[in-house]
Structure 1
């Protein structure tokens, strides 16, 4: 199974002026997973493939995944450990090649068995991180996740011995999907990228999730690129933008407009890759056809967008992220241990995250201009104005913040996603 390195593929696409678009796609059946990868490869866009794993595998319950397969259950992703290597190898045969690298996406805080299976299969691209795949998803201690991810980095890096260049993407810029101010998202994304580098990876990608304000997002993406150039000078890196991960529009037109905004933002701000969402996100798991429609819609919108300026209005995101990064790095020469200590001290604190290792003192809100602001910075090493009312949002105010994007984009006059045939195309009527 020969494939061009994931990072090199993205770099070549950027050099050619093309945005790489990628689905979130995973099916329990090898036949359906192969069909999804084949459709992604054939889409009218510059694509990379995704194998998203199921919930049992993410949690390390491989026995339950195997039993579900034996019972014919419809899993919500591909159980890469429960399927034997011969089955998955056959599923990938003729798909993964120089024109189409594939990334495995999972969500596990302790993914050693997953990474061992990737290495057995010759797959060398994955994503996650010791913080970003620990705090939002369960109660695994951060120290345990950090040690596990260190071993996983070393496992993946060993693929270099066979002449391949492995790639790892941090999920750190997507913590909880929303209501995390961009300075902290940028800092966590960069810190996880530095953790990957310290543990043997030389090709990484840094993530950021689309929020509510395009201007704020553009500033954040520029800040992330500046910091990556400074702190990862000897690494092959690129930036990946995630289309909005919060409460999604219910209408096809609203979903299409939100994805178009993400694609255009990616081009203007210099992101090399975009993780798309589909018209079905608010209702159900999307079909293969809906995934392909989203990929092609995003590619068209990206192609129509002119390259942005390197100049952006500075409101302090870069300075805030830099202050956090420098404070964390000052705690320990080992980046993983430094992040662990930073959460203990409150230098890193994710708003509205209930994990026991998170201080839970910092909170945020959306202001009247749809910009994410700190309501309370807790012990974060940043100097920003504190919102007058302090404390956490009330239930009504939190619901308003979470629903603002849906309300804005569902102002379009269009049939709901649940309507027969909806989602296969992106015809937008305003």
Structure 2
């Protein structure tokens, strides 16, 4: 029995405290323990993270240990490869009700990861059958759905408080209209629920316009209450997941604005990034600085504006249409997801996975908001098509990918007001 993760987040939210969390993972056991210990020692409400290495993500459980034996470092912790006892020792005295730990992994076939996290006494992880397949893997979507169904049933059966955070709100989120991100989070939540997992969190990635994000996060909460009402759930915001500002001032301003967005929208938890995201894997000290920055309370929000209300209504309407269209395909949510991508009812802009039609596109409109270019076969009204997406060239795509980084790296706006 654990449940530390959910209870910690719920108690922090009751105290109106935003829980902050790094994306940290190191291959060496001592280094990983030191990193977790440094986060646990902070005087902020923080959750620890064990991020899995890239070899483990693709099912290679031997190369990671070979690299470590050769004196090399990894980009994450090889949870499956390290002996269970060694990881238990690494967590001893750190993991507990005052410092929960979540495993983050990026794996389309997560069975071994789920088994090992349970072996070491953890019960919180993240991902999803779509959100950890289409961006990261060449695995057929149907195979990922089967693997995740098996993994969810295992977690639900092996733990009392097994928790999964849907990564659906971060699906190439830097160039994806919010309604699809919201819909995907709800659909993955329904998938987890169908396979026995009752403790959930729903992610959303900071986009290109704060007022649009605030409306979208309201829509996510509204739909979660409707579709996931018999589960325990909370909302987690990610600092912008696309190309990051290259200047320290620009990166700091973006991180600060993401924290303000999390508080404005009432998010319970936040995944932070650091000033060095644009050029290197962040150090422990850089993660600690970012955690302190995002944990600093910057005041209360004002009442929603008319523009925020309009974005809320638009996102709510579109996301509900997508969710209903998918759920109506099949009583089995996994089968419905697979069929929806085959038909194009789900379609991730600019995603090159073989099971994604890539007929839908996204543009950044003249307000700086993410909007539909081409709708493809998405079940949306024609009014949702704000801008022509046909003929989008490489220069235009490059400009969109760099839109946020360029804006924060220049002096063409006042930091904190975007």
TM-score, normalized by the shorter chain, greater than 0.5: yes
| Residue in structure 2 matched with residue 226 of structure 1 by the alignment | 222
| Residue in structure 2 matched with residue 396 of structure 1 by the alignment | 395
Contact 1:21–1:273, Cα closer than 8 Å, also in 2: yes
- Does 2:300 align with 1:306? yes
1:244 is matched with which residue: 234, 240, 248? 240
| Residue in structure 2 matched with residue 152 of structure 1 by the alignment | 151
- Does 2:184 align with 1:188? yes
Contact 1:173–1:189, Cα closer than 8 Å, also in 2: yes
**1:117-266 maps to which residues of 2 (within 5 A)?**
117-160=116-159, 164-266=160-262
| Residue in structure 2 matched with residue 343 of structure 1 by the alignment | 341
2:317 is matched with which residue: 313, 316, 319? 319
d(CA) in 2 for partners of 1:319, 1:196: 23
| Residue in structure 2 matched with residue 420 of structure 1 by the alignment | none
2:359 is matched with which residue: 345, 352, 361? 361
Q: Could you say what secondary structure the match of 2:373 adopts?
A: strand
d(CA) in 1 for partners of 2:174, 2:193: 27
d(CA) in 1 for partners of 2:25, 2:371: 35
Q: Relative to structure 1, is the Cα distance of residues 74 and 381 closer, same or farther in structure 2, using a 3 angstrom cutoff?
A: same
- Does 2:73 align with 1:77? no
d(CA) in 2 for partners of 1:361, 1:61: 33
Q: Could you say what secondary structure the match of 2:165 adopts?
A: strand
**Which stretch of the first structure deviates more once superposed, 392-401 or 349-358?**
392-401
Contact 2:79–2:116, Cα closer than 8 Å, also in 1: yes
Give how far 1:69 is off.
Answer: 2.4
Contact 1:19–1:299, Cα closer than 8 Å, also in 2: yes
Q: How many residues of Structure 1 are paired with residues of Structure 2 in the alignment? A: 408
Q: Write the deviation string for residues 232-281 of structure 1: whole angstroms up to 9, x where unpaired.
A: 11100000000001110111111111011111111111111000000110
| Residue in structure 2 matched with residue 21 of structure 1 by the alignment | 20
| Residue in structure 1 matched with residue 278 of structure 2 by the alignment | 282
d(CA) in 2 for partners of 1:265, 1:179: 18
d(CA) in 1 for partners of 2:386, 2:289: 42
Contact 2:173–2:181, Cα closer than 8 Å, also in 1: no
Tell me how large the CA RMSD over aligned residues is.
1.6
TM-score (norm 2): 0.95
d(CA) in 2 for partners of 1:296, 1:105: 21
TM-score (norm 1): 0.92
Contact 2:349–2:359, Cα closer than 8 Å, also in 1: yes
Contact 1:260–1:298, Cα closer than 8 Å, also in 2: yes
d(CA) in 1 for partners of 2:171, 2:187: 13
Contact 1:347–1:379, Cα closer than 8 Å, also in 2: yes
Q: Relative to structure 1, is the Cα distance of residues 78 and 242 closer, same or farther in structure 2, using a 3 angstrom cutoff?
A: same
| Residue in structure 2 matched with residue 48 of structure 1 by the alignment | 47
d(CA) in 2 for partners of 1:367, 1:70: 51
d(CA) in 2 for partners of 1:344, 1:264: 39
| Residue in structure 2 matched with residue 293 of structure 1 by the alignment | 289
Give how far 1:138 is off.
Answer: 2.0
Return 5+ residue gaps in structure 2 as ranges.
none
Give how far 1:6 is off.
Answer: 1.0
Q: Write the deviation string for residues 32-77 of structure 1: whole angstroms up to 9, x where unpaired.
A: 1001101111113110000001000011111222322222221110
d(CA) in 1 for partners of 2:280, 2:389: 37
d(CA) in 2 for partners of 1:45, 1:308: 25
Give how far 1:5 is off.
Answer: 2.5
**1:64-103 maps to which residues of 2 (within 5 A)?**
64-103=63-102
Contact 2:205–2:241, Cα closer than 8 Å, also in 1: yes
Q: Relative to structure 1, is the Cα distance of residues 44 and 54 closer, same or farther in structure 2, using a 3 angstrom cutoff?
A: same
